[in-house]
Structure 1
């Protein structure tokens, strides 16, 4: 017999989130009341009988596969069901971050044209074909929002307990430049000190960030080898050749690590889908909505941001970070390290504006302007150590 619906409210701080069959089995064995349990992206067919014997009011199901006979029982009992939209090339209710293999499965660096058939490329074409950021219909925009909500939830789980710092900078930074190598060295050094590195996930300075983290468990000379392999495709256009060079680095250096894998988080967007995500991040939170992505990237970098020379997007991130520091919306202010003194004081003199806006505020003391890699490293590392 189906239990009677019970009054319930959502939004408890004690929600139990379930995204694996094993966890669901454990909860069903331990509980008869599923109030404030959230199940994401699972096939509930094997659990139909067990679920009908539980109190279901307040149970939330997001993107689950639900047999028809169970669906009515759930609704009658007061469960909340967010169905998956299955006609999309992406999962609307994904319960984990992406990996490079998820995005680029099927890509063959010896046949760069296979990039067009990867998940990442197919979703980008779908995004273009369905109206990009402004012309999509209501069902498409709902699907994207559900997907992005899943990304944000998975990103929050990833960030929990980590010391995260970020590097912001231009996508146009070529792999053959000294600045690209410098960003990789900074990221490698911070990764070796236990800091999880983040970036916007694309090419240029963003790729250098994740390359450095990827190489952190390897001998120092691995960086020179990687840069030599990447030099055959200095720029991300054409994307397939750029990606092929990165995959060759991954293949040739796969056995070079002398320690455990170092994690880093890339946060790209299909808004800039012509700039494919780089292949060196261990985890990827890819979004449709760039505004959500930008805010999330700055927000998780609670242990500081290194700003390298860039264009409008990088400058936007400077002021987003300054705003969070100014109002302390995500906790204590964190360092803002500007790498490239001439660029940030003369070419794009944001420093003058920051000093005017932040007059009298303590976050101004956390601004560092330098041309020295080691000073940039220590500014982040010292603050991160003091904050723990």
Structure 2
């Protein structure tokens, strides 16, 4: 497992490297998804070995340090939204979280998540649409996402051989 121990936060460009927007499975080509596949292959939430757990801990510590340094420089109130990986895009809570995140971002709060699908994806979506004057574009995006492949549909791709 290659881990980020450079004490640098990931950028969108880092995570989306390899993504192909023209391919219906384009996300499966991204660096972000390759990390997910490796996580699944390494045992998911229960690491398959101490070496895997040590690598995950080193990564997590580096990200925590990078976040600590970043937050010292930000002059905005912070709101963290975590959890709920299994929340489907067609659930009313997904839309509610996206709308809440949009409003918080419009009020200049800095929203942070643990990344990933479900609740945290809804947060990212709301922030992405926070510059629009109306909620129409956000609602349209949610409507489009409801029919897009959900992360759990990628589980068969998660096994790294």
**What is the TM-score normalised by the length of structure 2?**
0.74
How much does 1:195 deviate? Answer: 0.9
Find 2:49's aligned residue among 107, 117, 136.
Answer: 136
Relative distance call for 1:141 and 1:170 in structure 2 (3 A) is closer
Q: Against the structure 1 CA distance between its residues 193 and 105, is the aligned structure 2 distance closer, same or farther, given a 3 Å change threshold?
A: same
Deviation at 1:204? 2.2
Matches within 5 A, 1:29-108: 88-91=1-4, 93-108=5-20
Deviation digits for residues 291-321 of structure 1 (CA, Å, limit 9, x no counterpart): xxxxxxxxxxxxxxxxxxxxxxxxxxxxxxx
**Structure 2 partner of 1:165:** 79
Would the aligned equivalents of 1:175 and 1:234 in 2 still touch at CA under 8 Å?
no
Spell out the pairing of 1:1-388 with structure 2 (5 A cutoff). 88-91=1-4, 93-130=5-42, 133-138=46-51, 140-160=52-72, 161-168=75-82, 170-220=84-134, 221-233=136-148, 235-239=150-154
Equivalent pairs, count: 152
Cα shift at 1:153 = 0.6
**Structure with more helix by fraction:** 2
TM-score (norm 1): 0.35
Structure 2 residues without counterparts, runs of 5 or longer? none
Cα distance in 1, alignment partners of residues 63 and 23 from structure 2:
31
Residue 165 of structure 1 aligns to a residue whose secondary structure is strand
When the two chains are superposed, the root-mean-square deviation of aligned CA atoms in Å is: 2.8
Structure with more relative contact order (C-alpha pairs < 8 Å, separation 6 or more): 2
Unaligned 5+ residue runs, structure 1?
Answer: 1-87, 241-273, 275-388
Q: Secondary structure at the match of 1:237?
A: helix
2: CA distance between counterparts of 1:124 and 1:181?
24
Judge conservation of contact 2:19–2:30 (CA < 8 Å) in 1. Answer: yes
**Aligned partner of residue 80 in structure 2, secondary structure:** strand
